Chain A
């Protein structure tokens, strides 16, 4: 086993970044769709899409394996297009996005519901196209709530273990993320390496949280407001 920490660390960051991107785009799109479509089915759709947050990651991993495997429902079709997901880092991205997706969906749905619909209606009445209403009115107004979800999604993706291990396996340098490398090191009794990886992971998470706090719009203002008499 390679004792380098950079390889699993960079892989983890790469997988988490792509997964967050995917989860954000899809989560925001679905949440906006649900906010436009008022039907009693909305809650059912929401519940089904939130499942990966509640299900044990092994269940999510199994679903993905049955779906994407070489002999799975979609696997052969994807393979024909040259896409292989099982045992690849792209597979790890899919697994991490699926479990991170509900974080964005939940936050974005709440954020879109909070947006004052009269502002959207006013924009429409002034002749703004639906796409422009979304990008220039709804999205900016909901952005803070969405950002909170995105940060949670990133944290969840970075810590993903179960589904990733099932879908992408544990190939050093290719799919062995930080959390999986720690698991392997403990299994093999390499406590020194495990300790090191655990410290690196903790430091990375603290750095990510600090970055998140710094990036969150209004956090600085809030601090100043509190200080002001």
Chain B
């Protein structure tokens, strides 16, 4: 009996501990993974005693986690639609919403370009059977891709060869491993794998690729959340983001 109680206490304390610590949790779009890990490390170094945790995924997925009660303090998404949904669901504080970086969508192929793709038109060819892009229902880069291709008239051809990614990094990995003939990712993602994927061209999107950031609306939000958001917008924060290829909004 004693042992069982002890075990229960141990298990409970393990479960509860992370929730009790005064940490700052930043939930962000998958494309921000490397840049935000860097930002978090720098901010943490400048604020002794503060633990900055990061969590990444497709913007809509991360938002769903927040809506379901994930203890995030800051939310950064890769498109306005995800942030609009966050505002609508009252998951974020709209007065804190700011655009903080700009990016672009690119068409990439595996190194060596086995299907010989030189432009969007080549995606219509018989040799091309698989094109990866983010699922437009939950992945911003998929929405940008769909909107851009609908405008250029290539959507039908691409959709009939679709391989849906759960987030932009999965699309990148599909292309990198050569499982698909081509894929659509952000320029900043393609830059991470310069030796394994080749950028064919950048894709014109009807709406500019601008990322918004906002504070999560919840009881017990970490007091340092506003400080972190300000840091992202500051010159110091922007220079770190620029290092990973993100432009100013």
Contacts and interface: CB of A to CB of B under 8 A. Distances in A.
Contact of B179 (A70, A171, A186, A187): A70
B163 A171 contact: yes
A71 B177 contact: yes
A169 B177 CA distance: 14
A171 B138 contact: no
B164 A189 contact: no
Interface residues of B, number: 19
Q: Which of B58, B85, B162, B164 has the most CB of A within 10 A?
A: B164
Contacts of A170: 135, 164, 166
Contact of B60 (A1, A87, A171, A187): A187
B64 interface: yes
Nearest to B137: A188
Interface string B49-77: 00000000010110110010000000000
Contacts of A186: 64
Given A69-B179, A170-B135, A187 B64 contact: yes
A69 B63 CA distance: 32
Interface residues of A, number: 17
Interface in A70-104: 70-71, 86-87
Contacts of A1: 135, 137
Nearest to A189: B64
A87 B129 CA distance: 11
A221 B64 CA distance: 51
A190 interface: yes
Interface in B113-162: 130, 135, 137-138, 162
Nearest to A169: B163
B178 interface: yes
A69 B137 contact: no
A189 B179 contact: no
A184 interface: yes
Interface string B169-183: 000000001111000
Nearest to B65: A187
A189 B139 CA distance: 12
A189 B163 contact: no
A193 to B, nearest CB: 10
Contacts of B164: 169-172
A189 B61 CA distance: 8
Contacts of B162: 171
A31 to B, nearest CB: 34
A86 B178 CA distance: 11
A87 B163 contact: yes
Contact of B178 (A70, A169, A171, A190): A70
Contacts of B64: 186-189
Contacts of B179: 65, 69-71, 86-87
A1 B179 CA distance: 23
B178 A187 contact: no
Nearest to B170: A169
Given A87-B130, A169-B164, 19 more contacts: A1-B137, A65-B179, A69-B178, A70-B178, A70-B179, A86-B179, A87-B179, A87-B180, A170-B135, A171-B164, A186-B64, A187-B60, A187-B64, A187-B135, A188-B64, A188-B135, A189-B85, A189-B138, A190-B137
Interface of B: 58, 60-61, 63-64, 67, 85, 130, 135, 137-138, 162-164, 166, 177-180
Q: Which 6 A-B residue pairs are closest in the complex by CB-CB distance?
A: A188-B137, A188-B138, A71-B178, A187-B138, A187-B61, A1-B137
